[in-house]
Amino acid sequence: MDGGRISRRAVILGGLALLASGCSPTMQYGQPLLSAFSGQKGPAPRYKRKRVRYSGSESPGTIVVDTSEHYLYSVEEDGWATRYGVGVGEQGLTLKGTASVGRKAEWPSWTPTASMMRRKPRLVKYAGGVPGGLNNPLGASALYLYRGGRDTMFRIHGTNEPWTIGQNVSSGCIRMTNDDIVHLYERVPVGTSVLII
């Protein structure tokens, strides 16, 4: 570079260094994240986030998860809700009933539970935990579900496998695309009621 000019080569090398450092633009919380998974299959169109009429009796601000339909509803005023497609637990593994959001985290770390490792021995290699980031199964953020002030070990979270939305695939957690969990996360305070049916 001479005279304060920036060469094309310097820009490219700087961009590569930024990507190598893990500080890619897709990692910035609150920005569209699906581009980070380009080339991967996403969910079916019916699971795209949508504002819909809602006829349930739950109060505005409540989260309702319908595991049979693979939808999560964020209940709003005047009979409306934002509906999101979700992936849910394999047969018999999903939490049912009521809970509340006891904690929230952006780019959370993940460690498989002992029961998960017993069911799926391939997960033992992650027993030390996986740091937050694009390769983490919890995705961009997580809402930690509590009952009676105690962590249930179940989460509503993003995913690094967006094609699993609409399926029964998890160890009981509720998966959303990273863009959808970011959208929900920004609107849900700690203490929010959650009903899983």
> Same structural domain for residues 22 and 91?
no
Which of the residues are catalytic? 157, 173
Q: How far apart are CA 112 and CA 127, in angstroms?
A: 6
pLDDT by 10s per residue, the chain, length 197: 444 443 433 333 333 333 333 333 334 444 444 444 445 578 889 999 999 999 999 999 999 999 999 999 999 999 999 999 999 977 766 788 999 999 999 998 877 777 778 878 877 777 777 777 887 888 999 999 999 999 998 999 999 889 999 988 877 789 999 999 999 999 999 999 999 99
- The pTM assigned to this predicted structure is 0.76
> Same structural domain for residues 56 and 128?
yes
* Positive or negative torsion for Cα 78, 79, 82, 88: positive
Domain count, the chain: 2
Q: What is the CATH number of the domain that holds 66?
A: 2.40.440.10
- Which residues constitute the domain of residue 186? 32-196
Distances (CA, A) of 162 to 158, 176, 180: 8, 7, 11
> Same structural domain for residues 71 and 22?
no
And the tokens for 10? 């310097």
